Chain A
Amino acid sequence: MTTALAQRPAPSRPGWRERLHKFDIKGVPYFLVAPFFLLFAAFGLFPMGYTVYASLHEWSTRSPEKTFVGLDNYQFLLFEYDRFLNSVVNTLGMFVLATVPQLIVALLVANALNKRMRARLTWRMLVLVPIVTSVVAVGVIFARLWGQEYGMINGFLGVFGVENIDWRASRFGSWLAVSSMVDWRWMGYNALILLAAMQTIPKQLYEAAALDGASPRQQFWQITIPQIKPVIIFITFMSSVGGMMLFVEPMMFDSGRFGGGTDGQFQTTSMVLIDLLRTHGNYGMSSAAGWLLFIVILAVAGTSYLIVNRLQGNK
């Protein structure tokens, strides 16, 4: 063996210093990102893989021994358990009801904050306040605002002779209430991201447009929007993912229950997932619901990307 090695025309062996240098350039980056990926593998990939396994089994607190059932769990959720598809409709409905006005208002607020105004920093800070408020506190306050007998909103409508509305009992009413909670929390956050993007737009563009006689409205549509399009795509994408996983707001609106109203009027898919896990102790079914939700999120995020990307043509 040694002779065979020796017979090869030996390439000049690099010194350890050189090899260290090579490792420094090629190896160290992997080394530096490794902690994240190791943690991700342990707490992200492994659980994901394990839920695939769990979703194919009948496994619950009542029957701890896992029995392989193939796609039965998925089939039950999609075709037999009405609450599941109902929850997907609810999630999509609340997503549209919450996100569309939220992003439009965020855009307008960002545009306003981008103008010259007194105490600009204060205003910018204030739009962020809702995010640093505890979501549970927000839930408690909003549940009171939208109360049937003692709620402020019914009290206000009562001034105009409107009878007390049970917002939780109707589908649209409850969606409206939950959406208001989501909007209140996330509008400022999105506005601030849009504002940051707007500030990167070169001033010359506006000056040139003004010289050419473009009105502020035209400047907004012809310069601002196209310039910040990548950021609009980003926040639409993030809002889609967040909206599809909507959980705490509707749960708090129903006093911490997972049922989302007496007939699942505002039960989101995340709530179904947690209900299956916590109330029914059904690990298999809950895992299957998680994967179905994942597919829904992919579809919605993809669709909203395509829609936003087509606005204003391709850049």
Chain B
Amino acid sequence: MHLLNRHRGRAALAVAAAGALALSACSGGSDGDGNGNGDSDEKIQLTVKMFGTLGYVDIEAEQAYEAEHPNIDVVLEGDGTNFDQEFRPAIESALQAGSGAGDVIAMDEQAMAQMMAQSDYWADLSEYGYDSRAEEYPEWKWELGHTADGKLAGFGTDVGGMGMCYRTDLFEAAGLPTDREEVAAAWADWDGFETAAQTFVDSDVDAAFLDSPTQLQNMMLGQLAGQGDGQMYVDAEGNLTLDSAAVQDSVDTIIGLQEMGAIGSFASWSEEWVTAQAEGGFATMPCPAWMLGVVEGNAGEDNAGNWDFAAAPGISGNWGGSWLLVPSQSQHPEEAAELAAWLTSPENQVSVFEAVGPFPSTFAGQEQVMDVTNEYFNDAPVAEIISGSVAEFPALEYSALHPTVKGAVENALNGLVDGTYSADEIWDVINSEAENAVQLGG
């Protein structure tokens, strides 16, 4: 309660501050006439709402854009804003209220399905001729920037991609290959991954093979859905599709790995998960591009050379990445679209990557950083592995209910691993929790 109130208070403050800013900008810019449409010497203010700086402050995007466009005043907002606690709720209310959402909105992958479900909130950028940018992006990244009824709402910024972090010291102790090419070849498919898990468990090395059940299951789900009928947890009408091949096979694989004793109880972001990366509590973990820095920070200098990075089973996968969207409430959707397109251009994606690290989502951007390696991970060719994983990632349709049902399923799988549920119960739990999530989603 207390926490909530504090955030509400802060959001209100932010709204008030934004309002004051808008007012002062209006009074400063206009010479008395209210309608500035088409007036060329009228300065147009474009507000970009972000969670954090997204690297745009670091590459001085504001100055560069204003220098090229003298009639545009770019305002970058959101430094230090937490996505889930502050940003998403504030944007949700602003979109519902019809004002205050700015002209360009940054949106993280986890909220995209929900945002794109409300078509009315978004401008259609294909009206300004941006459909041509489709070829710059992997298909799935491009498609996810479209609303449920097909409007082009925005452009992708970065991608997470997916590879597999693994501990060479633990692999060696367990008698598994340590060279990343050999590792990738050994688990080229999911059977190979299970075989490696069995070898590791049999070796009696005192560590879990895999950190936790959730990321691996999620990655497998996307791959299997892409190969099959495209169904994941929920279809476009909001009906559960838990009997789809992708859900059944991915969960059954997890149950198998759990019975084998290969999965650790290190839920992502828990204190134990952080410590285990330094202590060698588990040997493998699915890693998007941005996770490498996290692992390096958690494991520290003492573990330099212990962690390595290889292509994951089945190769394709993604976790994270953002978009820049233009809301329909923007007074200048065309100019906003131009700004969003410029910010997400391959050149700027590369600048942002070099400044703060998010991996480019455009093919051209990836091309330019292709030879980047990671020293901490034994000079692994990170860029090559990540771009491979996103190039093959399937274009899937995400229902607005996908995130909450996904959360319910993953919570149940964590319960399987911590012993709360038995393998016999797990499907009942998944079904009932998923039904609750659908019902609560409205």
Interface of A with B (CB < 8 Å)? 58-64, 76, 81, 83, 140, 143-144, 147-151, 166, 168-169, 245, 247-248, 255-256, 259, 261-263, 265, 270, 273-274, 276-282, 285
Determine whether B84 belongs to the interface, using a CB cutoff of 8 Å to chain A: yes
Determine whether B64 belongs to the interface, using a CB cutoff of 8 Å to chain A: no
Q: Is the CB of A60 within 8 A of B271?
A: no
Additional pairs, 12, CB under 8 Å, beyond known A149-B266, A263-B421, A280-B437: A60-B441, A61-B118, A62-B400, A62-B441, A64-B96, A143-B270, A143-B271, A148-B265, A150-B279, A262-B412, A276-B440, A279-B407
Q: Is the CB of B411 within 8 A of A282?
A: no
Q: Is the CB of B279 within 8 A of A262?
A: no
Q: Is the CB of A262 within 8 A of B420?
A: yes
* 13 residue pairs bridging A and B, Cβ less than 8 Å apart: A61-B96, A61-B118, A62-B114, A64-B96, A140-B271, A147-B272, A150-B279, A166-B419, A169-B418, A255-B269, A262-B414, A281-B92, A281-B442
Q: Which residue of A has the minimal Cβ distance to B419?
A: A169
Pick from B3, B117, B266: contact of A62, CB below 8 A.
B117
Residues of B near A278 (CB, < 8 A) are 84, 89
Q: Is the CB of B89 within 8 A of A149?
A: no
Q: Which residue of A has the minimal Cβ distance to B413?
A: A262
Interface of B with A (CB < 8 Å)? 1-4, 84, 89, 92, 96, 114, 117-118, 265-267, 269-272, 275-276, 279, 281, 400-401, 404, 407, 411-412, 414-415, 418-421, 436-437, 439-442
Residues of B near A270 (CB, < 8 A) are 1
Residues of B near A280 (CB, < 8 A) are 404, 437, 440-442
Q: Is the CB of B275 within 8 A of A150?
A: yes
Q: Is the CB of B436 within 8 A of A81?
A: yes
Pick from A59, A263, A276: contact of B420, CB below 8 A.
A263
Docked complex Cα distance between A167 and B312 (Å): 32
Q: Is the CB of A144 within 8 A of B276?
A: no
Docked complex Cα distance between A62 and B238 (Å): 11
The A contact surface, by secondary structure, is: loop
Residues of B near A245 (CB, < 8 A) are 1-2
Docked complex Cα distance between A284 and B441 (Å): 11
Q: Is the CB of B2 within 8 A of A279?
A: no
Docked complex Cα distance between A204 and B270 (Å): 56
The 6 closest A-B pairs by CB, nearest first: A262-B415, A60-B442, A280-B440, A169-B418, A255-B270, A143-B271
**A/B pair count, beta carbons within 8 Å:** 101
Q: Which residue of A has the minimal Cβ distance to B9?
A: A43
Residues of A near B270 (CB, < 8 A) are 143, 255
Q: Is the CB of B418 within 8 A of A64?
A: no
Residues of A near B442 (CB, < 8 A) are 58-63, 280-282
| Given known A60-B442, A62-B442, A274-B4, contact A147–B271 (CB-CB < 8 A) | yes
Q: Is the CB of A150 within 8 A of B440?
A: no
Docked complex Cα distance between A291 and B276 (Å): 42
With both chains docked as a complex, state the minimum distance between the C-beta of A167 and any C-beta of chain B, in angstroms: 10
Q: Is the CB of A149 within 8 A of B276?
A: yes
Q: Is the CB of A64 within 8 A of B419?
A: no
Of B96, B117, B271, most A-chain CB atoms within 10 Å: B271
Docked complex Cα distance between A270 and B420 (Å): 23
Residues of A near B114 (CB, < 8 A) are 61-62, 281
With both chains docked as a complex, state the minimum distance between the C-beta of A136 and any C-beta of chain B, in angstroms: 10
Docked complex Cα distance between A204 and B369 (Å): 83
With both chains docked as a complex, state the minimum distance between the C-beta of B113 and any C-beta of chain A, in angstroms: 11
Residues of B near A273 (CB, < 8 A) are 1
Residues of A near B276 (CB, < 8 A) are 149-150
Docked complex Cα distance between A168 and B281 (Å): 18
Residues of B near A259 (CB, < 8 A) are 407, 411
Q: Which residue of B has the minimal Cβ distance to A169?
A: B418
Q: Is the CB of A262 within 8 A of B275?
A: no
With both chains docked as a complex, state the minimum distance between the C-beta of A1 and any C-beta of chain B, in angstroms: 49
Docked complex Cα distance between A255 and B441 (Å): 23
Residues of B near A281 (CB, < 8 A) are 92, 114, 441-442
| Given known A144-B271, A247-B1, A280-B440, contact A168–B404 (CB-CB < 8 A) | no
Residues of A near B272 (CB, < 8 A) are 147-151
